[in-house]
Structure 1
Amino acid sequence: MSGRRYHSPRRAEAAAATRQSILDAAKELFATHGYVATTVTRIAAAARVGTNTVYSSIGGKPQILIDLVTAGVEDPVADRTLARIAAADDARDIVVYAVEGVRRDSEKHADVIEILLDAASVDAHAAEVLRLAQERFRDALRATADRLAALGALREGLDAADATDVLWYYLGLSSWRVLVRENGWDWDTAERWLRNRTVAALLTG
C-alpha cells in the first residue's frame, strides 16, 4: 500500500477559503475594534468557524497579523515597480515610478497599514511585525537610491544612504497616513505633492 498522502483539490480549496474568511474577519475586526481588543474567539465567530479552526488554519493573533501584512509586503506591485526603476535611465522617471508604486501599494493596503501602525504602539508582537515590514520597505527604497546614485543624479552632498533616508521621510508609511488620513487629502493630491518634494530633495537641476 502506498505511503503517499492523498491530496484532495476540493479539500485544499475549502481550507484556503476558510483561511481567507478568517483573515477577512480579523482584518475587519482589527480595523473596527483594534488589535488588542479583538480576541481569537471573536474572529472565529465572525468567520463562522470554531476557535480551534482559527489556530489550526493560521495560528493566534500575531500570526494572523503577520499574514495580513505579508500580503502587502509581497504584493507584485513592488516587484514591478523595482523592475521599472532598474530599467530606467532618467532620474526623474525613477522618482515618479517609485512614488507611484508606493502610492498604489499604500492605497491598496491602507487598512492593514493602519491596523499595524496602531497595534505596534501597544503590542510587542505587532511592533516586531512593523519593524520587519519597515526593513523590507527600506530595502526597496535603497534599491531606488542606488539606481539614482549610479546615474550620478543625486544632489551634491547626498549619497545612496542619505537618499534612502530622504525617500523614507517622504514615502514611508507615516507620510501617507498623515496626508491622507489626518489631513484629509485625496490620494492623487498626496502623490503629486510627495513626488514634487522628493524630486526637489534628491535630484540635481
Structure 2
Amino acid sequence: MIMDMQPTGRRAEYAEQTRRAILEAARTLFTEQGYFATKVDQIAGAARVAPATVYAVGGGKSGLLRTLIESAVNSEENARIHAELAAVTDPESLLATVVGATRAKFEQWAPLMRQVAAAAPQEPTVRDSMKIAEASLRNGLRLTAERLAQLDALSDGIDVDRAQDLLWIYLSNTAYFVRTDDLGWSLDESQSWLTAALTRELLAR
C-alpha cells in the first residue's frame, strides 16, 4: 500500500504544479497582451506544457479566466475579510476596513480586470467571468451594509439596500478605474477620500 501511494502522491503534486503554472501563464499573458491577443499555444509555451494540457486543465482561455477569478473569489483571504467585516463593532472602523480591503484587491487584480472589462462587451464567456467577480464584491458590500444596520449606524432614510448601492457606487472596479485611470488619483489618495466620503454618506451623525 505504501509503495502504491507514493507515486499517486507525486502525480497529484505534479498535476497541481502544472495547473498553477498554466494559470499563472494565462494571467500574465492576459494582463500583458489582452484576452483576445493571447493564444492557447502561448499559454502552453509559457507554462512549458502541450496545448492539449491547457485544454485538459482549464478548458481553453475562457475556462482559465473563469478559474482565475473563481480562485480569487473562493480564496482564504476573502473568507478572512468577510470574517473581519462581521466582527468589527465600530461603524467608522468598519468603513475603513472595507475601503482598505477593496483597495488591496483592486491593487492586486486591476491589471487583469482591466483586460476583462475591455473584452467583456465582445465575449459572453468573459462577461460571465466578470459577473462572478462583481457578485463576490457585491456580497462583501452587502455584508458591510447589513453590519452597519446591525450597529444601528445608518443615516435616516438609508436602508441596507441603499447602503449596498452606495458602497457599490464608490467601491466597484469601475469606480476605481475612473479615479486611477481617468483622474490620475493615487490609491492612497483614493483610500483617504473614500473613507471620508462613505462616512459622510452612510453614517448617522
- Please report the TM-score for the alignment, with normalisation by the length of structure 1: 0.90
Which residue pairs with 2:81 in the alignment? 81
Task: Give the secondary structure class of the aligned counterpart of 2:122.
Answer: coil
Q: Which runs of 5+ in 2 are unaligned?
A: none
In the alignment, structure 1 residue 31 sits paired with structure 2 residue 39: no
Distance change (3 Å), C-alpha of 1:204 and 1:58: same
TM-superposed CA distance for 1:7, in Å, is 5.5
Question: Does the 8 A contact of 2:116 with 2:126 survive in 1?
Answer: yes
Rounded Cα–Cα distance in structure 2 between residues aligned with 1:11 and 1:185: 48
Question: Does the 8 A contact of 1:77 with 1:104 survive in 2?
Answer: no
Task: Give the secondary structure class of the aligned counterpart of 1:109.
Answer: helix
Question: Does the 8 A contact of 1:116 with 1:126 survive in 2?
Answer: yes
Question: Does the 8 A contact of 1:77 with 1:101 survive in 2?
Answer: no
Which residue pairs with 2:135 in the alignment? 135
Q: How does 1:13-52 map to 2 (within 5 A)?
A: 13-52=13-52
TM-superposed CA distance for 1:23, in Å, is 1.4
Which residue pairs with 2:125 in the alignment? 125
Count, aligned residues: 203
Q: Give 2:97's aligned amino acid.
A: Y
Between Structure 1 and Structure 2, the one with more helix by share is 2
Q: How does 1:94-105 map to 2 (within 5 A)?
A: 94-105=94-105
TM-superposed CA distance for 1:106, in Å, is 1.7
Distance change (3 Å), C-alpha of 1:193 and 1:110: same
Question: Does the 8 A contact of 2:141 with 2:167 survive in 1?
Answer: yes
Rounded Cα–Cα distance in structure 2 between residues aligned with 1:67 and 1:143: 24
TM-superposed CA distance for 1:88, in Å, is 2.0
Which residue pairs with 1:187 in the alignment? 187
Q: Deviations over 1:134-161 (max 9, x none)?
A: 1121111111101111222111111000
TM-superposed CA distance for 1:50, in Å, is 1.0
In the alignment, structure 1 residue 149 sits paired with structure 2 residue 149: yes
Question: Does the 8 A contact of 2:70 with 2:132 survive in 1?
Answer: no
Rounded Cα–Cα distance in structure 2 between residues aligned with 1:40 and 1:22: 10
Question: Does the 8 A contact of 1:75 with 1:105 survive in 2?
Answer: no
